[in-house]
Structure 1
Amino acid sequence: MTRYLQAAAVPDTRLRLFCFPYAGGGASTYAGWQRRLGSRVQVLPVQLPGRESRSGEPRFTDLGALVRDLDRELADELDFPHILLGHSMGALIAYALARHRAELGERLPEALVLSAYRAPHLPAPELARPDADDDELVHSLVGLGGIPQILLDHPDWLSALLPVARDDLLMCSGPGPSGKEPLPLPIQAYAGSDDNLVTPAEVAEWVEYSQCGFSMRTLPGGHFFLREQEDVFLNDLAHSLDTVVGLYH
């Protein structure tokens, strides 16, 4: 089993839904999604190094290096019909992995689901200054809703999160995916109506990156609307997945 998946993928005929986390997040972001989305897909949260169950491993700060490692490690799993989904930083990773595989002539996702991130030709969102101290970074994360109250109440947990968030933000601010030609796959995008980091108009720019159809939903909430409005988001995602599953079958 690959290090990136906490459980082995089941060799059945369902589409595989690989889920990539936001900056500072881990695979637990998607806990419970399998139960909520049912049998239409096999939910596979991706655990990046340096967090949660992989906290002792060095983190990536270069997007290209991470994508190459993901492609190597997940190659066998990505040879089956699949969808790549990511929220915020996870959207960037999902797109970069699809772009990388397109350049190598490897199997592409049936679709991309990209949430709360600007299209690649736009400047990367700047959550905090590169030299921001811990208090400034915490203030920025709290403002976005990216730090649950329980972390604020446990300084030791918070101190473990901040280095992860810093490295992830460094990766997001570095060189992005190469190539700008549209990919031969559909893109479903999501934005939060009150997101003060990434606007719906910026998310809508992903339309330029698909040859096969683009759709977008703007949902109530801020940058972490998928957590604030989980029921609304998952209900809409289930409907979108049903469309892809119908085309796949």
Structure 2
Amino acid sequence: MTKFDQQADIRRSIRPPFRGAPVSPTRIGRSCARARVYCLPHAGGAAGMFRTWPELLPTDIEICAVEYPGHGSRLGEPLLETIEQVARSVADLVAAGPSEPYALFGHSMGSLVAFEACHLLAARGSAMPRLLIASGHRAPKAPQSTPPMHAAPHAEFIAHLRQLGATPPEVFRSPDLLELVLPILRADFRACETYRPRDRSKLRIDIAAYGGFCDEDTGRDELLAWQQETTGECVVRMFPGGHFFVLDCADRVVAMLERDLAKAISTEPATPCVTG
């Protein structure tokens, strides 16, 4: 049996009842940490994209990679339909976690999830992250520069995935594997493209917006617009590469994350801002 046959079997057979927390963390790192980083993947992504990060960080920073339902190791579970649903589960996870200082890092779709989770935590009066790192996504209120793709015809959607560059080439060569991942990708794209932020008070935390120099959809101006979402400091960091610069130059991204996190946890935490 080839690995593609195995993937098809997984799709047909793994359909257990949905029980437990809708978002599951994969802890990669150390149990005694000075700080923790919750890492939220892109559309169609899995927690495994962050597996190399602990090797690039000091031993006192823990990576807690979040696995969305229906993705990666949770393939048999139902997909969540909206950014708000995923964010609610992330907020529950964070609120139940240890008390050390923490940051939220989200790439692409993960940026929206992290942003919404911050507002939910603020509304609950929970401990806030010292830093929100929004990677590879325009600010929530910045206009979308490309047409929605979640309902695009098959060929057009595949071409878009190829252009983004994160989907492994073997996926496109295997009908079974493609059949497995396309519903996940379309559902995640729909969640992102139909998301509309509500009018609320600004966050009171620092934001770092990361982007790729060659990302055609998210440039410096779209990243600078994250300043509109907080009363704290907002910095923009640019890296070589396109939309998935986080994979192409992970060492540079993680080094900058370490610097930004160290600065954030060296200051007093902001008072939670109750949002409506």
TM-score, normalising length from structure 2? 0.82
What residue in structure 1 maps to residue 43 of structure 2?
23
Residues 85-234 of structure 1 mapped to structure 2, 5 A cutoff: 85-124=105-144, 126=146, 128-234=148-254
1:11-31 deviation line (CA, Å, top 9, x unaligned)? 534211000000010101111
Give the AA of the match of 1:210: T
Q: Distance in 2 between matches of 1:92 and 1:156?
A: 30
1:120-164 deviation line (CA, Å, top 9, x unaligned)? 112346465343123221210111112122323333223222111
Q: Distance in 2 between matches of 1:240 and 1:8?
A: 20
What residue in structure 1 maps to residue 91 of structure 2?
71
Conserved? CA contact 1:63–1:176, under 8 Å:
no
Describe the SS at the equivalent of 2:67.
Answer: coil
Structure 1 residues not aligned, in runs of 5+: none
> 1:238 and 1:128, CA in 2 relative to 1: closer, same or farther beyond 3 A?
same
RMSD of aligned alpha carbons: 2.4
Conserved? CA contact 1:127–1:197, under 8 Å:
no
Q: Distance in 2 between matches of 1:159 and 1:38?
A: 40
Q: Distance in 1 between matches of 2:28 and 2:238?
A: 33
Conserved? CA contact 1:23–1:88, under 8 Å:
yes
Conserved? CA contact 1:219–1:233, under 8 Å:
yes
Identity among equivalent positions (%) equals: 29
Instruction: Tell me by how many angstroms 1:45 deviates.
Output: 0.3
Choose 66-75 or 52-61, whichever is displaced more: 66-75
Conserved? CA contact 2:150–2:193, under 8 Å:
no
> 1:79 and 1:133, CA in 2 relative to 1: closer, same or farther beyond 3 A?
farther
Give the AA of the match of 1:87: H
> 1:186 and 1:6, CA in 2 relative to 1: closer, same or farther beyond 3 A?
same
1:1-53 deviation line (CA, Å, top 9, x unaligned)? 96511349865342110000000101011111111112241100000000111
Q: Distance in 2 between matches of 1:236 and 1:10?
A: 20
Q: Distance in 2 between matches of 1:145 and 1:180?
A: 35
TM-score, normalising length from structure 1? 0.90
What residue in structure 1 maps to residue 24 of structure 2?
4
Conserved? CA contact 1:98–1:108, under 8 Å:
yes
1:45-102 deviation line (CA, Å, top 9, x unaligned)? 0000001110111111122222223323442116542100001000110011001111
> 1:17 and 1:125, CA in 2 relative to 1: closer, same or farther beyond 3 A?
farther
> 1:171 and 1:79, CA in 2 relative to 1: closer, same or farther beyond 3 A?
farther
Q: Distance in 2 between matches of 1:139 and 1:107?
A: 42
What residue in structure 2 maps to residue 238 of structure 1?
258
Larger radius of gyration: 2
> 1:85 and 1:8, CA in 2 relative to 1: closer, same or farther beyond 3 A?
closer
> How many corresponding residue pairs?
249
Q: Distance in 1 between matches of 2:200 and 2:141?
A: 8
